[in-house]
Structure 1
């Protein structure tokens, strides 16, 4: 079992590491493009209308909307696969092993949200309370990879487990709090589609291609229902069997095929479409004078470090839980800080929370600044950890 889990995990960490670098390049490119002489072209490109289908099945949205509601379904499907793996055969399958990262993740979700509300208060800006809750796995694991042997395998496993539980909580928040209007008939259609997929699985259908037409119908019904369409991807990922079916490991096959597509294509395109903020000419005023920007920075930096690190350190010191093998106490703070790198899902929630361009811009500046500070604190903490504390192994 250990060997079966370790090999995909190593491949996953490697892909996340490289994907994080590509993500940084895409985000930087979006910022440069949005602040260059070709800035008008950036806005016009992502606002152009694209229509798919015809008649009653005709769907028309701008290109950015198709990226966020269509292409990102694949990203959330891969998240669903990762969650399913961890719950069935991974680090979260054992309650005692799962308790510590689960507790850390809850603290790292609740405290940033509370700090956000304390800083920004209510009003329209208050709708963004979910933004600092998210941890970006690709960025965080990419930073850890750059540290090489200065970060233990245990620290990487801990942060990965925390980020996955964080994803579960963030998905629940999106489904419950960022759904404005539900159309019951379409939602019932999506649920019926999921039942069909579950029935196919029960009959032993193990070819992924057989599920594609059903998956498209589930996505369309979810889109029309008012529930965010990307949640269809999560649901389908969770339905995927984590153990072999008729001698075929479907989840491994899908993750091996789709994770590189998600990491190197879907997420960079999402960053390119959403990370461009025009900072010229005072369009945002001074974002660092805005409560929204500071609320996000406070949540991502202070909220994540205390929310993740505090419960972890306390429970570990009291003997209520054991850290992963070869993880040192000093790495708790470093991992907690890296948990404050919120990018993909934070930007995603920003798009759901706000329609005002100024608020969106202020939120994005807060995400960029908070993530950068959190990454810097995490890197410095891990690099200055005392030599020889904990076995250092490559992932």
Structure 2
């Protein structure tokens, strides 16, 4: 099995981006707890128009990130590993388990309380961090494992986006939502009319994003919708989808995600933010990421194969799936996204961010060590 050039580019940019994310997180935490803390925090809370800089990063720049995710998913569905239904059903099953079990664990501890809205926090996997950790194992990693983790994280993030759209939309302006969806239908019509020029799609995407932003639905869902409206053609280097995806790799990995990390990890570590670490919501997040994720991903994968719903690739075994399932517990990006929507209290938000960072670190280390031990004799090649 060989990796396509575009998938290789995607994986390489994501793994490098993941390592940069770690550096940016440490840098941001350091500044937030230094002598210039007040100025640094003010930078992200500075108002531009009707929103803060942090808000523009989360709702604006991250839409481009999800556009790239959508383009990669589209490629995998049309001509990649996910084009085979039985291959696709394995990461789909894993993603479903990796969302349901963590949410269930969280709700067991928080149902009926003021913090039950945080059930979505431990449900997501951060693709950049997860691939960054996996990349540390070099060519020991089987190709199918890279594809499984990428597909799992992409489907997982799309699931999180849908959860945000359905459960974390407090007030919905239907007129704006229908206009946004109307623009999406128009872009699909342009696709059917074989309009290959990228400009109309990008202009339409910006307008769709504006109305989605003002509809109450999380604006980042626009990126995913736009990705599936952009013409894929036969997927070669001249296709509209390929050109845009290739262009977005490095800006997303080396600019957009690092800015997101800086903006969302500006956390002041004090008695107030640390006091919530022993609470039920913090415990729910930690157990969801560290136990719920690996149990859900592995169990649902195992059951789907045993029931012959999906099939396990020849170069994978259940130990490698179990190791990668811990990498699925690296929540970061979407977990922080959902935290900002689930809670309005600063103490809850900061404590949740700290728990997400600690749990993601532990999950990453466990996954790395387990896979290092499991794959040490595999001699897998990237092809």
TM (normalized to structure 1)?
Answer: 0.92
Match of 2:130 in 1: 140
**For residues 227 and 386 of structure 1, do their structure 2 counterparts lie closer, same or farther at Cα, with a shift above 3 Å needed?**
closer
Match of 2:291 in 1: 302
Spell out, residue by residue over 1:88-126, the C-alpha distance to the aligned partner (whole angstroms, 9 max, x if none): 222222111112111111101100000011123333321
Distance in 1 (alpha carbons) for counterparts of 2:236 and 2:348: 51
User: Shift in Å at residue 134 of structure 1?
Assistant: 0.4
Counterpart pick for 1:195 among 185, 192, 204: 185
Distance in 1 (alpha carbons) for counterparts of 2:55 and 2:307: 48
Q: Give the SS at the match of 2:330.
A: coil
Is 1:73 aligned with 2:63?
Answer: yes
Spell out, residue by residue over 1:265-292, the C-alpha distance to the aligned partner (whole angstroms, 9 max, x if none): 1111111111121112x12242332222
Match of 2:157 in 1: 167
Match of 1:337 in 2: 326
Distance in 1 (alpha carbons) for counterparts of 2:357 and 2:164: 21
User: Shift in Å at residue 378 of structure 1?
Assistant: 0.4
Is 1:365 aligned with 2:363?
Answer: no
The farther-off stretch of 252-261 and 235-244 is: 235-244
Listed as ranges, the matches of 1:188-267 within 5 Å are: 188-244=178-234, 248-267=238-257
Distance in 1 (alpha carbons) for counterparts of 2:115 and 2:357: 17
Distance in 2 (alpha carbons) for counterparts of 1:212 and 1:27: 31
Match of 2:366 in 1: 377
User: Shift in Å at residue 315 of structure 1?
Assistant: 4.3
**For residues 97 and 66 of structure 1, do their structure 2 counterparts lie closer, same or farther at Cα, with a shift above 3 Å needed?**
same
Distance in 2 (alpha carbons) for counterparts of 1:321 and 1:243: 28
User: Shift in Å at residue 349 of structure 1?
Assistant: 1.0
Provide the aligned C-alpha RMSD in A.
Answer: 2.0
Match of 1:354 in 2: 343
Is 1:83 aligned with 2:81?
Answer: no
Distance in 2 (alpha carbons) for counterparts of 1:371 and 1:334: 14
**For residues 317 and 231 of structure 1, do their structure 2 counterparts lie closer, same or farther at Cα, with a shift above 3 Å needed?**
closer
Runs of 5+ in structure 2 lacking a partner?
none
Spell out, residue by residue over 1:43-87, the C-alpha distance to the aligned partner (whole angstroms, 9 max, x if none): 211111112xxxxxxxx2111111111111111111211221122
**For residues 324 and 284 of structure 1, do their structure 2 counterparts lie closer, same or farther at Cα, with a shift above 3 Å needed?**
same
User: Shift in Å at residue 371 of structure 1?
Assistant: 0.5
Q: Give the SS at the match of 2:116.
A: helix
Match of 1:55 in 2: none
Distance in 1 (alpha carbons) for counterparts of 2:273 and 2:115: 14
On the 8 A contact 1:150/1:382 being kept in 2, the answer is: no
User: Shift in Å at residue 214 of structure 1?
Assistant: 1.7
Q: Give the SS at the match of 1:286.
A: helix
On the 8 A contact 2:44/2:52 being kept in 1, the answer is: yes
The farther-off stretch of 115-124 and 303-312 is: 115-124
The farther-off stretch of 178-187 and 150-159 is: 150-159
Q: Give the SS at the match of 2:83.
A: coil
**For residues 325 and 359 of structure 1, do their structure 2 counterparts lie closer, same or farther at Cα, with a shift above 3 Å needed?**
same
Match of 2:41 in 1: 43
**For residues 344 and 246 of structure 1, do their structure 2 counterparts lie closer, same or farther at Cα, with a shift above 3 Å needed?**
closer
On the 8 A contact 2:70/2:227 being kept in 1, the answer is: yes
Distance in 2 (alpha carbons) for counterparts of 1:158 and 1:246: 23
Spell out, residue by residue over 1:113-151, the C-alpha distance to the aligned partner (whole angstroms, 9 max, x if none): 000111233333211111111011111111111111332
Distance in 2 (alpha carbons) for counterparts of 1:368 and 1:310: 25
On the 8 A contact 2:13/2:250 being kept in 1, the answer is: yes
The farther-off stretch of 313-322 and 350-359 is: 313-322
Runs of 5+ in structure 1 lacking a partner?
52-59
Structure 1 segments of 4+ aligned residues over 6 angstroms from their partners: none
**For residues 162 and 124 of structure 1, do their structure 2 counterparts lie closer, same or farther at Cα, with a shift above 3 Å needed?**
same
Q: Give the SS at the match of 1:284.
A: helix
**For residues 246 and 384 of structure 1, do their structure 2 counterparts lie closer, same or farther at Cα, with a shift above 3 Å needed?**
closer
On the 8 A contact 2:235/2:242 being kept in 1, the answer is: no
Distance in 2 (alpha carbons) for counterparts of 1:100 and 1:195: 30
Distance in 2 (alpha carbons) for counterparts of 1:248 and 1:7: 14
User: Shift in Å at residue 307 of structure 1?
Assistant: 0.3
On the 8 A contact 2:196/2:231 being kept in 1, the answer is: no
Question: How many pairs are equivalent?
Answer: 383
**For residues 287 and 151 of structure 1, do their structure 2 counterparts lie closer, same or farther at Cα, with a shift above 3 Å needed?**
farther
